[in-house]
Structure 1
Amino acid sequence: MADVRVVHSVDRRLGGKRLADLVTAAVAGEKPGYRALAQAVRTLLLDGRVPLHTRLPAERELASALGVSRATVTAAYDLLRDSGFAASRRGASTWTELPEGRRPTNVAAYPPGPAGGAGGVGDGMLDLAVAAPAAPAAELSEAVAAAAALLPAHAATAGYHPYGIPELRAAVAERFTRRGLPTLPDQILITTGAQQAISLVLALLGRPGDRVLVENPSYPNALDAIRRAGLRAMPVPVTDAGWDTALVESTLRQAAPRIAYLVPDFQNPTGALMGREQRVRILETARATGTWLLIDETIADIALDVPPPAPFASLAPHGVAEQVLTVGSLSKSHWGGLRIGWVRAGSRLITELAMARIPADMATPVLEQLVALHLMGGMDEVLRARLPQLRAARDALAAALTRQLPEWRWQLPPGGLSLWVDLGAPVASSLARAALGHGVRIEGGSRFGADPGTHEHRLRIPFTLAPDLYEEAAARLAAALAAGLDPAGGADPRHDDWVA
């Protein structure tokens, strides 16, 4: 295992000036003593701002950048090694590590139960691990009836549409066009949810060992897809202040990743919204490095306090548009049970993606596509009703947390479906395990980390339940915290882990 970690550390190196800037910000501009320096590095590691298995700068280099003695850095590195947050080998450099006890086991997920739209998962359990709303019941019923009326015309055919039925491809293309990105139907591939779209793109464009730039934290299922494809994640942090564009650009230039997976619109889980200038700079850098940009717009429609953002690809200068692939779905705007997603890309790439899907999944079911076609026609009306409900739920969650857990902190996001809550201590996985016994299913922040064990002081708390449930949810979390946490506790082995 030690040899493997050395290999990982070579791939990532943190320069002395960069670490000094991060440490200085963490200790409020003062020159740190060795304990403060070690604590700052630990905090940066757990917060995901310094990736796991990153080679730390040489002691002399960091001492010079910080303006402290080399003995101070030596003592700090020794303290990090003694506490398990760093490792080294004779003749090799020092790299970031996590002690074994800080590698949390993911919380077990309870399978969905009959409580359905109320937000529970059976037996009074409140589900805060799934950031997706219940279906708009009336609109869904109407869409199912409309689809049934259209089905006989399709039943006379074989029913296989690897690209998607033409009507739905045209509807998705037309929505992109109305949002500011002219799109033709042959630039759209209909998929079985956005997750399939992401997996298809990774499989087609990536090869085992290729680098993929990812945000840290990020959407867990996308990170899992990257790992399963044998790709190497190159994390860049997303903090409460959003993206460090200069760091994204430098990572693109220095690592030359094959693909960059980004969620610029109400990022999951932080809720951050990437600015226009940041998008333009990333597009220009990607053109120089030849990196494919895989843009996840699944949550782009959930704009609560700002106008809906234009598609990321609409800002692409000439010659870069073909490098941008956009994925989306109806899961967050309508219902996750309707497994309809899509990819927007160049028509040639769409053909390659369609051919790549056939060995595993020949086509998305026609009936579901017909339901989606009807829902797409009334999407603006659904959003006009849904966004105020989500805004009310967000405010109810924030108010309940303020009353029940006043020491927790968060930024109120301008859109999206969840709060990214700072607990003030690295206890998220222990709290998530304890919360199961108090009737709450939730995932610790490490589930969203590009490196295991990071974001242990965070919880993602969705606001997709009914507003009147959040006072009870917050009270249960407070009770779990007050009852005491077992840092060595394991996940419930009876259930499989999943999050959405």
Structure 2
Amino acid sequence: MLREALERVTTRSLVWTTSYLDDPVLPQLAELLRSTWPFEPMRLTVVDGALDAMSRIVDHVVRLGDRVVMENPGFPPLIDLLERSGAEIIPVGLDGEGMILVELAHAMTLDPVAVFIQPRAQNPTGTNMSLARCAEIAAILADTTAWIVEDDHSGDIATGEDVSVGQHLPERTIHIRSYSKSHGPDLRIAAVGGAADVIDPLVARRMLGPGWTSRLLQAVLVELLTDPASVAAVTRARSTYAVRSLALRAGLAGQGVTSSMGDGINAWVEVADERSALVTLAALGVRVAPGTPFEVAPTRSHHVRVTSGLLREDDAAHLRLVISALTSAAKAGPTLRGV
């Protein structure tokens, strides 16, 4: 799908590279993004992937010694970015609808400068923030000055609704939408929309570096977002990932193994002992990610992250092998940390 899009835009895209002073976002792409954004953004731009967006936002809003809030467990590169900035990270746990409200309310008494949220297909748990929880989070944040930074990393392959705190606090929300999982990591494009006080400086700072994200790649993204065959391919991918995830979780549940009932391409699987689980799974040829790097602070149970999106729902033997291996790993070793 990416090759065909490149072929369609190669000649006509040349009209977009005539000046260093052109708008950094193609008008057609800006129109498409605004029409699908979960709230009316004050500003909108594109950058070179979700982590590029996150890095630039962290550089602007976080200073040495600042407190910030993020989900626990959360995305390891964001943990690294925040630690590198010198921030003190306040962890907030998750339940089936998003951030746990009592923990968030307590965290906000510590005056953090920003709250980082994955609104759907949270990595690693797959949690989708519900509409009700979103409104409750916004109510807690309303009387603070904290920025809300949302990472919609799964984008169009997530089955959950595109929910955003920006629907309630648009002037303080920065929403990132990645196209890497839905349209391919080599596209290197993420859209950023929301608060002008953050996005305007981000755009200005980029002019002293890369300037803009290639308008040729932006034109490719326009093609991918409007071509019926490409849209259908993403729809099939979303459905396929959902089927694979459900098959894995159902199989594990049948063996008494606890896993997150979430969205996206990952499953957060509880195990008795992380190290024992990794050794057991490696011996059986099953690759998973250790849970510890995802933790802002230690959790009571051990976990591993399984990329369910790589499974094949039409290969029953392989699925049984993975479920059997995870079951063996989940039941080996101590049951609680510190015991």
TMscore range, shorter length = 0.7 to 0.9
Query: Which is higher, the Rg of structure 1 or of structure 2?
Result: 1
- 1:356-378 Cα shifts (integer Å, max 9, x gaps): 23445433223322211211224
Q: Aligned letter for 1:416?
A: G
In structure 1, distance between residues paired with 2:68 and 2:316: 37
After TM superposition, the structure 1 stretch with the greater mean CA deviation from structure 2, 393-402 or 157-166, is: 157-166
How many residues are matched?
Answer: 330
Structure 2, unmatched stretches of 5+, are 335-339
1:276 aligns with 2:131: yes
Alpha-carbon contact 2:131-2:163 (below 8 Å) kept:
no
Among residues 374, 399, 409, which one is paired with 2:223 in the alignment?
374
User: Taking structure 1 as reference, are residues 366 and 221 closer, same or farther at Cα in structure 2, changes over 3 Å only?
Assistant: same
In structure 1, distance between residues paired with 2:110 and 2:77: 23
1:146 aligns with 2:146: no
- 1:326 Cα deviation from its structure 2 partner: 0.5
Alpha-carbon contact 1:213-1:236 (below 8 Å) kept:
yes
Alpha-carbon contact 1:298-1:328 (below 8 Å) kept:
yes
Alpha-carbon contact 2:288-2:307 (below 8 Å) kept:
no
1:167 aligns with 2:28: yes
- 1:251-310 Cα shifts (integer Å, max 9, x gaps): 11x111000001122322222222223222322332311110001122353443x6x234
1:326 aligns with 2:175: yes
What RMSD over aligned residues (CA atoms) do the two structures have, in Å? 3.0
Cross-structure match for 2:247:
396
- 1:213 is paired with a residue whose SS is strand
In structure 2, distance between residues paired with 1:290 and 1:246: 19
- 1:130-187 Cα shifts (integer Å, max 9, x gaps): xxxxxxxxx32321112213233234x25687833343233222221xx5x2347xx1
User: Taking structure 1 as reference, are residues 215 and 293 closer, same or farther at Cα in structure 2, changes over 3 Å only?
Assistant: same
State the TM-score, normalized to the length of structure 1: 0.59
Identical positions, percent: 24
Among residues 234, 237, 245, which one is paired with 2:93 in the alignment?
237
User: Taking structure 1 as reference, are residues 480 and 324 closer, same or farther at Cα in structure 2, changes over 3 Å only?
Assistant: closer
Q: Aligned letter for 2:162?
A: P
Among residues 441, 445, 460, which one is paired with 2:291 in the alignment?
445
In structure 1, distance between residues paired with 2:66 and 2:294: 21
- 1:97-127 Cα shifts (integer Å, max 9, x gaps): xxxxxxxxxxxxxxxxxxxxxxxxxxxxxxx
Cross-structure match for 2:270:
422
- 2:259 is paired with a residue whose SS is coil
User: Taking structure 1 as reference, are residues 481 and 387 closer, same or farther at Cα in structure 2, changes over 3 Å only?
Assistant: closer
In structure 2, distance between residues paired with 1:168 and 1:473: 40
1:246 aligns with 2:113: no
In structure 2, distance between residues paired with 1:486 and 1:421: 15
- 1:240 Cα deviation from its structure 2 partner: 4.9
User: Taking structure 1 as reference, are residues 370 and 384 closer, same or farther at Cα in structure 2, changes over 3 Å only?
Assistant: same
1:313 aligns with 2:169: no
Alpha-carbon contact 2:53-2:176 (below 8 Å) kept:
yes
- 1:343 is paired with a residue whose SS is strand
In structure 2, distance between residues paired with 1:477 and 1:265: 25
Cross-structure match for 1:214:
70
User: Taking structure 1 as reference, are residues 289 and 277 closer, same or farther at Cα in structure 2, changes over 3 Å only?
Assistant: same
User: Taking structure 1 as reference, are residues 393 and 248 closer, same or farther at Cα in structure 2, changes over 3 Å only?
Assistant: same
- 1:347 Cα deviation from its structure 2 partner: 3.6
- 2:59 is paired with a residue whose SS is helix
Q: Aligned letter for 2:10?
A: A
Structure 1, unmatched stretches of 5+, are 1-138, 488-500
1:225 aligns with 2:108: no
In structure 1, distance between residues paired with 2:10 and 2:328: 52
The correspondence of residues 92-491 of structure 1 with structure 2, limited to 5 A, is 139-155=1-17, 157-158=18-19, 163-176=24-37, 179=38, 181-183=39-41, 187-240=43-96, 242-252=98-108, 254-304=109-159, 308-314=161-167, 316=168, 320-378=169-227, 380-401=231-252, 406-413=255-262, 415-423=263-271, 425=272, 427-451=273-297, 453-454=298-299, 457-465=302-310, 466-468=312-314, 471-472=317-318, 475=321, 478=324
Alpha-carbon contact 1:159-1:366 (below 8 Å) kept:
no
In structure 2, distance between residues paired with 1:433 and 1:277: 41
In structure 1, distance between residues paired with 2:320 and 2:215: 42
Alpha-carbon contact 1:328-1:341 (below 8 Å) kept:
yes
Alpha-carbon contact 1:162-1:362 (below 8 Å) kept:
no
In structure 2, distance between residues paired with 1:434 and 1:440: 9
Alpha-carbon contact 1:216-1:448 (below 8 Å) kept:
yes
Q: Aligned letter for 1:387?
A: R
- 1:446 Cα deviation from its structure 2 partner: 1.1
The correspondence of residues 23-102 of structure 1 with structure 2, limited to 5 A, is none
- 1:390 Cα deviation from its structure 2 partner: 1.5
